[in-house]
Amino acid sequence: MTKFAIVGCGHIAKKHAEAIDKAEGAELIAVCDTIPENMEYYIEKYGVEGYQSLTTLLEQDDLDVINICTPSGYHANIAIAAANAKKHVVVEKPIALTIEDTEAIIEACKSNNVKLSVVHPNRFRPAIMELNKVLTEGKTGTVSHANATVRWNRNQEYYDQAPWRGTKSLDGGVLMNQAIHNLDLLLWTMGDVEEVYSMAATRLRNIEAEDVSTGLVRFKNGALGVIEAATTIYPSNFEESLAIFGEKATIKIGGKTANYIQHWDVEGMDDESVNQIIEQVKADPFGKPGHQCIIEDMVQAIKEDREPIVTGEDGKKALQLVLALYKSADTQKAVKISDVSEREDN
């Protein structure tokens, strides 16, 4: 049994605890938070040990994996400490807020020979997996462009829940926080980015970071992309979508979250085959919870001594894209991914 601990007992930690509880071969044995009251739910529900000190937690010999669920700005220090203690690391998105911190996490895990996985669970959605299968098999032909859209609502009360929300140093805006999962899907399906051009604004929310962003992308393979992300949508979440346009296919995955096939037209696929895929996804649009997939993959990666499906480098690519969009919006110039280190005003 692979034994896990959660560091940071805020809202997202519940998803991790549920995932570990349901995952085959995983067991939650501890939680850690500087505020004792935050740990009470997990101690009572799962019968685990609670630690206020990260150092003390990492001294536990029977602990295999640390799941980091703190505000994003704290990820690096915790991940590096865990790696140095020879613990494997599962870190919530984004992997960190700067490339410097990200590379430090990756290097610490590599030098200590521990596994590193970043929580981008949307890759495991049934509709997304069907889309990626078509792309991998080359059935779309040459892709001309793709659209990634997140039109959600996060009202002022959401940002007022904690002083770190919406800050550049600990959280980021809609791109870094909400849309980064969608951007990971864009990268996973379309490949690496060469350059971006972006505009961003803080229109409705009283926060330091952006609440709306638009961007243009040129991929290394020559395809183009359009990104739109906002937390200003009235009155609630409207849609999240990913659309791919190729010479032999037009596919759109959408819904309030990108879980449903809204359009599927692939050359050579008959109506029966298309309807079968659509109905199969409709019958189980969420599939196995993505966090559970991440946990089970980490268990197997340790057993098989292989890289997790979502690696630290994957997390770095998603972060680089966000930072490039930020830099372009700040400078009002096109920005090459290779020129991105971190946001200039950090």
**What whole-number distance in Å separates Cα of residue 291 and Cα of residue 339?**
32
Residue 343 has pLDDT above 60, yes or no: no
Q: Tell me whether residue 341 is in a domain.
A: no
Q: Give the chain's mean pLDDT.
A: 96
Beta-strand pair 2-7/26-32 = parallel
Of 318, 69, 73, 67, which Cα lies nearest the Cα of 171? 73
Q: Residues 181, 169: contact at Cβ < 8 Å?
A: no
**What whole-number distance in Å separates Cα of residue 177 and Cα of residue 190?**
21
Q: What is the pLDDT of residue 73?
A: 94
Residue 242 has pLDDT above 80, yes or no: yes
Of 211, 209, 226, which Cα lies nearest the Cα of 153? 211
- The burial of 140, by beta-carbon neighbours within 10 Å (0-12 exposed, 13-18 middle, 19 or more buried), is given as buried
Q: Tell me whether residue 142 is in a domain.
A: yes
Residue 304 has pLDDT above 80, yes or no: yes
Domain identity same for 153 and 107 = no
Q: Residues 179, 193: contact at Cβ < 8 Å?
A: no
Domain identity same for 135 and 117 = no
Distances (CA, A) of 103 to 36, 305, 315, 340, 346: 32, 21, 10, 13, 16
Q: What is the pLDDT of residue 269?
A: 96
Residue 299 has pLDDT above 60, yes or no: yes
Indicate the number of domains in the chain: 2
Q: Residues 335, 196: contact at Cβ < 8 Å?
A: yes
Residue 342 has pLDDT above 90, yes or no: no
pLDDT mean over 205-230: 98
Domain identity same for 63 and 85 = yes
Q: Tell me whether residue 338 is in a domain.
A: no
Domain identity same for 74 and 147 = no
Q: Tell me whether residue 343 is in a domain.
A: no
Q: Tell me whether residue 193 is in a domain.
A: yes
**What whole-number distance in Å separates Cα of residue 294 and Cα of residue 123?**
10
**What whole-number distance in Å separates Cα of residue 316 and Cα of residue 101?**
10
H/E stretch holding 253 reads: strand 249-254
Q: What is the pLDDT of residue 340?
A: 87
Tell me how many degrees the CA angle 124-128-132 measures, rounded to the nearest 5. Answer: 105
Q: Tell me whether residue 346 is in a domain.
A: no
Q: Tell me whether residue 345 is in a domain.
A: no
| Straight-line distance from the first to the last Cα atom of the chain, in angstroms, rounded to the nearest whole number | 41
Domain identity same for 65 and 79 = yes
Domain identity same for 274 and 298 = no
Q: Is 239 helix (H, G, I), strand (E, B) or coil?
A: strand
Task: Count CB neighbours of 169 within 10 A.
Answer: 13
Q: Is 284 helix (H, G, I), strand (E, B) or coil?
A: coil
**What whole-number distance in Å separates Cα of residue 202 and Cα of residue 168?**
13
pLDDT mean over 185-196: 97
Domain identity same for 117 and 75 = yes
Tens-place pLDDT, residues 256-280: 999 999 999 999 999 999 999 999 9
Residue 298 has pLDDT above 60, yes or no: yes
**What whole-number distance in Å separates Cα of residue 43 and Cα of residue 37?**
10
Tens-place pLDDT, residues 51-99: 999 999 999 999 999 999 999 999 999 999 999 999 999 999 999 999 9
Residue 76: CATH number of its domain: 3.40.50.720
Domain identity same for 12 and 66 = yes
**What whole-number distance in Å separates Cα of residue 346 and Cα of residue 12?**
25
Following CA atoms 17, 23, 26, 31 in sequence, which dihedral angle do they give, to the nearest 10 degrees? 0
Domain identity same for 134 and 248 = yes
- Residue 185's domain comprises 123-286+320-330
Residue 223: CATH number of its domain: 3.30.360.10
Residue 237 has pLDDT above 50, yes or no: yes
Domain identity same for 173 and 251 = yes
Q: Tell me whether residue 344 is in a domain.
A: no
Domain identity same for 43 and 57 = yes
Domain identity same for 11 and 136 = no
